[in-house]
């Protein structure tokens, strides 16, 4: 029995189910159960976390700077001259944009914080370096379509994803209507995927907006934010004291006169604003209270004093804040940033750092995969080139290599009678790791390699 008969009238190529409501509507994070992280409000929250939290900011900055330094290489499809020419074409495209590839990588890494990042690819005809038309200005004159720029389309400018109602595939994005120079709305912008680069982290239930790596840090971040605010208020109050004012009871009575109410309100303003560098003093009447015999007592009619804390607080906030900061750094695999504050062995630091670098390798690989699929492949389609000669972009190493460990490994190979000195690819790789130039093994004229030797 054939497959088609087993399936009956249903074809194997059809899509029978959908992932969820968010896939059909294209709304950003429609399936999120926390209200503050639903819809476009999640973009605002993650932006606040990225820009305001010191730990998260340090992680993002470290990832950006490390991955900017990773070398991207264009690997030919094979060893033929034609394949090398096409690899040079891709290299020239990456170097002929209005911005550098490093700048694009820095912006592309925003998909880590927001779950996705979107870029519009603006192509150009490579005609001449002397033309004033930016659509044709290029360092090359081969007439092929190249890339003018890869323009960022920030997540907070995106209203929703354009999704195929039958298959759930992302077809593009819809931006909010923008304003022209005359401040008149010009309608929503639709940017198709065929003209875009679309980066996304892991997706849950087919969510086109991906999943932010800051999602697991949200609860800890909220507590840290609140506790730091409470701690700042507590420090301010403990250093300056809580102002307490005393005025005659008749001023607090509901039957107080208009002048008494005015004075009471003024007193309340003084007590509220009384702190160093905001309101440095309070000027009060010095009249003394009269006793029943009409004699002046030692009690002033109006008084202000500061109540300070006696002893230490029953709850120390600092360890609690540190614990939540550890949770934040742990959620983004950067706990090694916190080791210096509370000790930690070198082995523990190295293992945590290696784990962070492994995560960075996966991030740069995601970027490279998108460039190969959505940039290089479309360049081949637009220019009508031979797909068998299409090269691939590869990322270099993220983590630095330990030359001592490599030399020890080579010594072990030599002890096992495994000689790698005759292998040009191995030597070239070793020289590349050591960041040393290598142009190929030089064979003396009076000696040629002999397998018997």
Q: Determine the Cα–Cα distance for residues 40 and 206; give it in Å rounded to an integer.
A: 17
Q: Kindly state the DSSP code that residue 385 receives in the 8-state scheme.
A: -
Element (DSSP H or E) covering residue 196: strand 196-200
Q: What percent of the chain has pLDDT over 70?
A: 79
What residues pair up with 173 in beta bridges, in sequence order?
Answer: 161, 191
- The model carries a pTM of 0.74
Q: Determine the Cα–Cα distance for residues 50 and 4; give it in Å rounded to an integer.
A: 52
* Residue 108: CB atoms within 10 Å: 25
Q: Which two tokens stand for residue 159?
A: 């209203």
pLDDT over 50 at 445, yes or no: no
- Report domain extents, the chain: 18-214+332-400, 216-239+315-331, 242-307, 409-453
Q: Which residue in this structure is represented by tokens 């492949």? A: 377
Q: pLDDT category, 31, cuts 50, 70, 90?
A: confident
* Residue 157: CB atoms within 10 Å: 14
* Residue 336: CB atoms within 10 Å: 18
Q: pLDDT category, 347, cuts 50, 70, 90?
A: low
Q: What is the pLDDT of residues 158-187, one digit of tens each?
A: 998 998 877 778 899 998 766 555 555 566
Edge to edge, the sheet with strand 145-153 lists: 145-153, 116-125, 196-200
CA distances from 231 to 85, 93, 317 (A): 63, 53, 7
pLDDT over 50 at 47, yes or no: yes
Quick one: pLDDT at residue 444?
47
3 state SS of 356: helix
Quick one: pLDDT at residue 443?
47
CB contact set of 321 (below 8 Å; sequence gap of 6+): 224, 227, 228, 231
The pLDDT mean for the chain works out to 81
Quick one: pLDDT at residue 82?
94
Q: Which residue in this structure is represented by tokens 């120390």? A: 316
Residue 371 or residue 26, greater confidence: 371
- pLDDT (average), residues 287-306: 72
- pLDDT (average), residues 80-100: 94
Q: What is the pLDDT of residues 208-252, one digit of tens each?
A: 888 999 999 999 999 999 888 888 877 776 666 677 788 888 888
Scored b (16 or more CB within 10 A) or e, 187-222 reads eebebebeebbbbbbeebebbbbbbbbbbebbebbe
* SS3 readout for 116-183: EEEEEEEEEECCECCCCCCCCECCCCCCCEEEEEEEEECHHHEEEEEECCCCCCEEEEEECCCECCCC
What residues pair up with 279 in beta bridges, in sequence order?
Answer: 275
| Angle (nearest 5°) at CA 52 between 51 and 54 | 100
CA distances from 301 to 85, 249, 281 (A): 94, 10, 18
Under the phi-then-psi rule, with left for phi > 0, alpha for psi from -120 to 50, and beta for the rest, what region is 32? beta
- pLDDT (average), residues 355-365: 88
pLDDT over 60 at 279, yes or no: no
Q: Determine the Cα–Cα distance for residues 52 and 217; give it in Å rounded to an integer.
A: 13
Quick one: pLDDT at residue 9?
55
């Amino acid at each position: 029995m054939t497959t088609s008969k087993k399936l009956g009238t249903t074809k194997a190529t059809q899509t029978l189910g959908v992932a969820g409501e968010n896939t059909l509507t294209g709304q950003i994070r429609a399936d999120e159960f926390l209200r503050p992280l639903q819809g476009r409000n999640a973009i605002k929250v993650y932006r606040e976390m990225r820009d305001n939290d010191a730990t998260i900011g340090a992680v993002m900055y470290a990832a950006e700077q490390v991955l900017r330094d990773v070398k991207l290489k264009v690997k030919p499809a094979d060893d033929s001259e034609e394949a090398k020419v096409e690899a040079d074409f891709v290299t020239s495209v990456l170097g002929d944009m209005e911005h550098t590839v490093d700048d694009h990588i820095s912006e592309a890494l925003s998909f880590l914080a927001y779950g996705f990042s979107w870029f519009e690819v603006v192509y150009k005809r490579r005609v001449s370096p002397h033309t004033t038309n930016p659509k044709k200005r290029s360092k090359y004159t081969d007439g092929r379509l190249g890339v003018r720029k890869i323009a960022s389309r920030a997540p907070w400018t995106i209203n929703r994803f354009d999704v195929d109602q039958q298959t759930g595939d992302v077809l593009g994005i819809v931006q909010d209507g923008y304003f022209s120079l005359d401040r008149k709305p010009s309608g929503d912008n639709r940017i198709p995927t065929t003209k875009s680069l679309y980066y996304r982290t892991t997706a849950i239930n087919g969510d086109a907006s991906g999943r932010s790596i800051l999602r697991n840090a949200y609860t800890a971040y909220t507590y840290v934010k609140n506790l730091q605010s409470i701690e700042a208020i507590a420090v301010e109050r403990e250093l300056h004291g809580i102002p307490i004012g005393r005025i005659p009871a008749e001023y607090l009575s509901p039957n107080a006169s208009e002048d008494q109410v005015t004075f009471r309100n003024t007193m309340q303003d003084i007590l509220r604003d009384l702190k160093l560098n905001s309101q440095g003093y309070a000027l009060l009447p010095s009249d003394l209270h009269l006793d029943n015999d009409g004699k002046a007592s030692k009690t002033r009619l109006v008084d202000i004093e500061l109540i300070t804390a006696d002893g230490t607080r029953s709850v120390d906030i600092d360890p609690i804040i540190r614990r939540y900061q550890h949770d934040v750094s742990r959620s983004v695999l950067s706990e090694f940033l916190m080791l210096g504050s509370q000790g930690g062995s070198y082995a523990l630091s190295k293992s945590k750092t290696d784990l962070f670098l492994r995560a960075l390798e996966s991030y740069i690989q995601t970027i490279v995969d998108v460039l190969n699929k959505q940039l290089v492949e479309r360049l081949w389609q637009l220019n009508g080139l031979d797909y068998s000669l299409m090269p691939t972009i590869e990322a270099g190493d993220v983590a630095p290599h330990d030359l001592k460990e490599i030399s020890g490994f080579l010594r072990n190979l030599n002890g096992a009678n495994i000689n790698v000195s005759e292998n040009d690819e191995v030597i070239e790789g070793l020289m590349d790791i050591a960041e040393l130039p290598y142009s190929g093994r030089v064979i003396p004229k009076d000696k040629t390699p002999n397998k018997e030797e």
